[in-house]
Amino acid sequence: MNKQERVTFVINTLKELYPTIPVPLDHKDPYTLLIAVLLSAQCTDVRVNQITPLLFAKADNPYDMIKMSVEEIKEIIRPCGLSPMKSKGIHGLSHILIDKHGGKVPQSFEFLEELPAVGHKTASVVMSQAFGVPAFPVDTHIHRLMYRWNLTNGKNVVQTEKDAKRIFPEELWNDLHLQIIWYGRQYSPARAWDLDKDIITKTIGRKTVIDSYHKK
């Protein structure tokens, strides 16, 4: 297959496997999504979904969040890891949302990335999942799979994101990034990987990756 045929195969296979696409992080609005995505850094979505109900029971909006101390937030989110940084970020960004944005999450990459503890990937998830703006957030799953599928040589998520945006149609970005995440978890994980179940890698995968798998 040439590159375009591989891209089409990926799109069609994912569409067949995931005709409806659940959002991994539980949330009810842009603010709760923003907090959940921030908490998900170096933490599983399953763990985040266990912790956010405890946090949101006390504060599911920036006005209630700033009534809590950084220490109180830290105690609740401790199981998500990096709690000192994340709690300061949550408290700080809640203040900024009130002071600069009328308590609303801004619909802008620029304003989102100005918020404490919010990087490009977090901003991309919020823009795509909360506001429907085309974005292609690249996490470790997507980075790993795009390399396995020989669709990027990217040594980092920045390059992989550029490659994904170049080869996939923009109108599919928001669906595809979620479909690839689910596929990576279910069929092409980093550990305990079974190539026979991983139809996409088995069909179009990078030769060196497949050869390395068989050597093991």
Active site residue 74: no
Q: Which of 74, 86, 121, 163 is catalytic?
A: 121
Selection from 57, 128, 118 nearest residue 93 by Cα? 118
- With beta carbons less than 8 A apart as the criterion, state whether 14 and 176 touch: yes
Q: What number of other Cβ atoms are within 10 A of residue 214's Cβ?
A: 7
Q: Which of 74, 86, 139, 163 is catalytic?
A: 139
Active site residue 15: no
Selection from 75, 41, 42 nearest residue 58 by Cα? 75
- With beta carbons less than 8 A apart as the criterion, state whether 129 and 107 touch: no
Q: Please give the backbone phi and psi of residue 60, each rounded to the nearest 5 degrees, phi first.
A: -115, 20
At 108 the three-state DSSP class reads coil
Query: Rounded to 5, what percent of the chain is helix, strand, coil?
Result: 65, 0, 35
- With beta carbons less than 8 A apart as the criterion, state whether 178 and 166 touch: no
Q: Which residues are catalytic?
A: 121, 139
